[in-house]
Chains A and B, each alone.
Chain A
Amino acid sequence: GDSVTQMEGPVTLSEEAFLTINCTYTATGYPSLFWYVQYPGEGLQLLLKATKADDKGSNKGFEATYRKETTSFHLEKGSVQVSDSAVYFCALSNAGGTSYGKLTFGQGTILTVHP
């Protein structure tokens, strides 16, 4: 079945540091890929997505590129802020079958950014 493997955390960075959170996936067909973020005390929010190979999703300074050859969707940000402290989830959605749009999530990576 489909699966998502995320870089284990927690990740602790200083403000303005470069961030990479690795994500790889296993799926049949051509899934869509997502990053969701969960800020403290809040629900899951879509951060960015990519629907086909070589697409780059971007939002709030975060980027991730859909790499089919390496089955990866690594999240990057050039300069993190304290307000980026949250839990980040990589996820995929397969378009086929009876459960269209059903998301399979990675385990989540806790990011803490210090001033």
Chain B
Amino acid sequence: GAGVSQSPSNKVTEKGKDVELRCDPISGHTALYWYRQSLGQGLEFLIYFQGNSAPDKSGLPSDRFSAERTGGSVSTLTIQRTQQEDSAVYLCASRPSSGNTIYFGEGSWLTVV
């Protein structure tokens, strides 16, 4: 597709379960970002992938959060043993190798009950 694609768009999970969120960036974009948008916290940076370089994981809130990017394209954000405070919209974004404009997907809305 033309834009950043994320799935699922909505996910309700029970506390303690693991969840996986998927991101398919714009074709050819080398950089990929995960952000979290929650009430009262605004937009928080989570993790950044650039080509084959080691990812910048400085924004991951705990070791329950991890992400990988396979083949330089699709990325999966995994949250283990989910907690209620993990409820948020998880946004994926990508950027081409030239320029600094980042393009966002529509997000995955996670609700932990």
Contacts and interface: CB of A to CB of B under 8 A. Distances in A.
A50 B45 CA distance: 21
A16 B72 CA distance: 46
Interface in B71-108: 91, 93, 95, 100-107
Contacts of B58: 99
B48 A102 contact: yes
A89 B35 CA distance: 14
B48 A99 contact: yes
Given A44-B91, A89-B43, A107-B42, A101 B31 contact: yes
A34 B100 CA distance: 10
Contact of A45 (B43, B45, B53, B104): B104
A32 B99 CA distance: 11
Interface residues of A, number: 24
B56 A98 contact: yes
Given A101-B31, A108-B43, A93 B100 contact: yes
Given A43-B91, A44-B91, A102 B45 contact: yes
Contacts of A49: 101
Nearest to A45: B104
A45 B102 CA distance: 9
B111 interface: no
A29 to B, nearest CB: 13
Interface in A76-104: 89, 93, 95, 98-104
Interface of A: 32, 34, 36, 42-46, 49, 51, 89, 93, 95, 98-108
12 contacts: A43-B104, A43-B105, A43-B106, A43-B107, A46-B102, A51-B100, A100-B100, A101-B100, A101-B102, A103-B43, A103-B45, A108-B42
Query: Which 4 pairs between the two chains have the least Cβ-Cβ distance?
Result: A43-B106, A105-B43, A44-B104, A107-B42
